[in-house]
Amino acid sequence: MYAAFLLGLAGSLHCVGMCGPIVLALPLPAAARRQVAIQSLAYHAGRILTYMLLGLGFGLLGKGLLVAGMQQIASIVAGALMLFAAIFITRWERWLVSGSLAALARPVQNKLGRLLRIRPNGASFTVGLLNGLLPCGMVYLALAGAITRTDAYHGALFMALFGLGTAPLMIGVSVVGHTFKKEIKQRFRVVQPVLLAIAGVLLLVRGLHLDLSLFESAVPPANMDCH
């Protein structure tokens, strides 16, 4: 499950770029920090809940793969996808979320737009729920990780940890707003591919079953000779 949280941290800067304008558009009172924190937490709770529901479904798919004997292959493919994303981090998502996926998300975007214009009390949670359905390459990578789990519970847990990994930086943006420093963004851009690569390696290791016991079984134990 470390891979899920690392993937969330890796995607947090991406979330700031894609979802930051939505967070900044939320009706958060500038003077009341407590209210800002509560509404921000409500937004992220809604977003993470959507991720968990998606994880339930993909965890069930993972259970089907386990029964079919394809769980290792799924883990290897998911790890390879994350390594690919780490190497081609500036290109792959633009291709992934373009075209038909963007068209499918248009009803969700329209609903979000209406909510943000009306700005009713308690809209933050609903906005978070809908935001979790928007096209996002990092979410797709996380779902690829969730399908490597063995049941619905662990699929949902994987996505919950992914969402929690994205939350700290997003909450920071909601607190500091437009004063989020460019230097911090640049540092995260350096760290992002490294975290993606680590998450990918963890899933590859899981799929390949790289265990020291394999090496131990290949080397015969040394027997003590008594004289």
Could you read off the pLDDT tens digit of each residue along the chain, which spans 227 residues?
A: 778 888 888 877 666 666 655 665 565 555 566 776 777 788 889 999 999 999 999 999 988 887 777 878 888 888 888 888 888 766 666 665 555 566 666 777 777 777 766 655 557 888 888 888 887 778 888 998 899 888 899 999 999 999 999 888 777 766 665 555 555 566 666 777 888 888 888 888 888 875 444 444 444 554 544 44
Asked if residue 169 is part of any domain, the answer here is yes
Asked if residue 32 is part of any domain, the answer here is yes
Sign of the C-alpha dihedral, residues 8, 163, 143, 20? negative
Main-chain phi, psi angles of 163, to 5 degrees: -60, -40
Asked if residue 47 is part of any domain, the answer here is yes
Asked if residue 17 is part of any domain, the answer here is yes
User: What is the model's pTM?
Assistant: 0.76
Residue-level pLDDT at 5 = 87
Asked if residue 27 is part of any domain, the answer here is yes
Residue-level pLDDT at 44 = 87
Asked if residue 49 is part of any domain, the answer here is yes
Residue 79 near residue 201, CB atoms below 8 Å: yes
Conformational region of residue 38, where left means phi above 0, alpha means psi within -120 to 50, and beta covers everything else: alpha
Q: Which residues of 22-35 are buried (b: 16+ CB within 10 A; e: fewer)?
A: bbeebbbeeeeeee
Tokens of 40: 């921000």
Residue-level pLDDT at 212 = 40
- Structural domain harbouring 187: 2-209
Asked if residue 227 is part of any domain, the answer here is no
Number of domains within the chain: 1
Rounded Cα gap, residues 154 and 205, in angstroms = 18
Rounded Cα gap, residues 44 and 161, in angstroms = 12
